[in-house]
Copies of this chain bind each other. A is one copy, B any other.
Amino acid sequence: MKIAILAGGSGTRLWPRSRSRRPKQFLDLAIPNQSLLQETVERIRPLVSVEDVLIVTSRDFVRQTARQLPDVPKANILGEPYGRGSAPAIGWAAATIMRRWGNETMVSLHADHHIARPDLLRQALVAAARVAAQGHIVTLGVVPPRPHTGLGHVQRGQLLGQFDGFSAFTIARFVEKPDYERARQYTDSGEYYWNTGMFVWQTQTILQEIDAYMPQLSAALAALQATIGTRLERRTIARLWRDLPVQQIDYGVMEHTRIGAVIPVEGLGWNDVGDWDSLADIRKADEHGNIIAAEFEGIDTSGCIIIGSGRRLISTIGLKDMVVVATDDAVLVCPRRRDQEVRSLVERLRLANKEKYL
Contacts and interface: CB of A to CB of B under 8 A. Distances in A.
Interface of A: 16, 295, 297, 299, 308, 311-319, 322, 324, 326, 328-335, 338-339, 341-342, 344-345, 348-349, 352, 354, 357
A313 B297 contact: no
A314 B327 CA distance: 10
Copies of this subunit: 2
A341 B318 CA distance: 9
B331 A324 contact: yes
A328 B331 CA distance: 11
Contacts of A352: 297
A334 B318 contact: yes
Contacts of A314: 330-331, 333
A331 B327 CA distance: 10
A295 B349 CA distance: 11
A335 B301 CA distance: 12
Contacts of A322: 333
B297 A316 contact: no
20 contacts: A16-B315, A295-B354, A299-B345, A299-B348, A308-B331, A313-B329, A313-B330, A313-B349, A313-B354, A315-B331, A315-B333, A316-B334, A317-B335, A317-B341, A317-B345, A318-B335, A318-B338, A318-B341, A324-B333, A326-B331
